[in-house]
Chains A and B, each alone.
Chain A
Amino acid sequence: MTGPAAMLKPDDRESTKGIHNALLRTALLMLGGIALIFGVGMIAGLLSAHWERGGAIDARLISILICVALAMAGIALLMWRQMRAAVRSDQALNPRERRNRLVLTIAMAVGAAIGFMLALSGGLDGGPGPISLSDAPLPPSVAVGLAAIVAIALPLLSYYWHRRVADELEAAAYREGALMGLYTFWVGAPTWWLLWRGGLVPPPDGVVIYLVVTFVAGVVWLRAKYR
């Protein structure tokens, strides 16, 4: 082999492959987490609807619950195997990358915990609006607990990430993502607001705007970091 390819050590090629595997693994874990939250919400919804109707627990309900539980167990097993693979590949990382992986894992765990708490409290049920994703009321204690997690954990984790984890490529990618997210907000929010005032679209929804801005910032960050 000649040329630049000959200068690449095998672990460099593995490194590029490893990045793609890590991305795929992260996507699988996120999808798995969402599926688990959806499953918990489905079970809670089925049971509450059944109890509201005052019906006895019959074989049909039990079989549906067993199917959902089995599907959730399968997803949890898949996630567990992916996490074990991630831990194994972790041993080849340098300290900064290991800290990065740790922060991502904690962030995902916090996100999953919030999702589970929302699902269990019924806060993921759609509200009355046509676009609203989650404006159903929450018990005050759950609302305060979740707000505290977000208001305390997110700044602490972000501070640690910026100070100890992010190298300059990561920081530049993050800035690029944040900038595009900000422009998405600056352009998208007033556009929606004006169209709503013209009676053309439903009223602006803060949750949808938050999710779109986060999605755009995340995609641009990933592209800038791994292109």
Chain B
Amino acid sequence: MQRTHGATGNGMKNRLKVLRAERDWSQADLALRLDVSRQAVNAIETGKYDPSLPLAFRIGRLFGLRIEEIFDDGTSGNAQA
């Protein structure tokens, strides 16, 4: 079943874990900055949950990157898991 954003992930790859590690942030640190739970950060990092567009924009702003530089839907090949 095809799912939309804000739902269970389609395994969309992202660089969240790498970006977080570069800043020496824990999942809890990132969760606090994004105002979500640690579970949400973990689920996004592992591709089990695709963030909504507003959250994706918040993530992009936090890291100073465009959304497609963080998330990869499998067609652009930008992001690495």
**Is A172 touching B6 in the complex (CB atoms < 8 A)?**
yes
Write 25 A-B pairs (CB below 8 A) sorted by A numbering: A4-B17, A4-B81, A8-B17, A9-B24, A9-B25, A9-B27, A12-B42, A15-B26, A15-B28, A94-B31, A94-B32, A94-B37, A96-B35, A96-B37, A97-B31, A97-B38, A100-B37, A167-B40, A168-B40, A168-B51, A169-B39, A169-B43, A172-B7, A172-B49, A227-B48
A196 to chain B, nearest CB (A): 33
Report, nearest first, the 3 A-B pairs whose CB atoms are least far apart: A169-B40, A7-B21, A167-B36
Q: Which residues of B contact A167 (CB under 8 A)?
A: 35-37, 40
**Is B39 touching A225 in the complex (CB atoms < 8 A)?**
yes
A138 to chain B, nearest CB (A): 39
**Is B28 touching A92 in the complex (CB atoms < 8 A)?**
yes
A16 at the B interface (CB under 8 A)? yes
How many residue pairs link A and B with beta carbons under 8 A? The number is: 69
Q: State in angstroms the CA–CA spacing of A168 and B9 once bound together.
A: 13
Q: State in angstroms the CA–CA spacing of A8 and B24 once bound together.
A: 9
**Is A15 touching B42 in the complex (CB atoms < 8 A)?**
yes
Interface size class, chain B: 20 to 34
Interface of chain A: mostly helix, strand, loop or mixed: helix
B18 at the A interface (CB under 8 A)? yes
Closest chain A residue to B33 by CB distance? A94
A68 at the B interface (CB under 8 A)? no
A205 at the B interface (CB under 8 A)? no
**Is A19 touching B49 in the complex (CB atoms < 8 A)?**
no
Q: Taking A168-B52, A176-B8 as contacts, is the C-beta distance between A7 and B40 under 8 angstroms?
A: no
Q: Which residues of B contact A170 (CB under 8 A)?
A: 37, 39-40
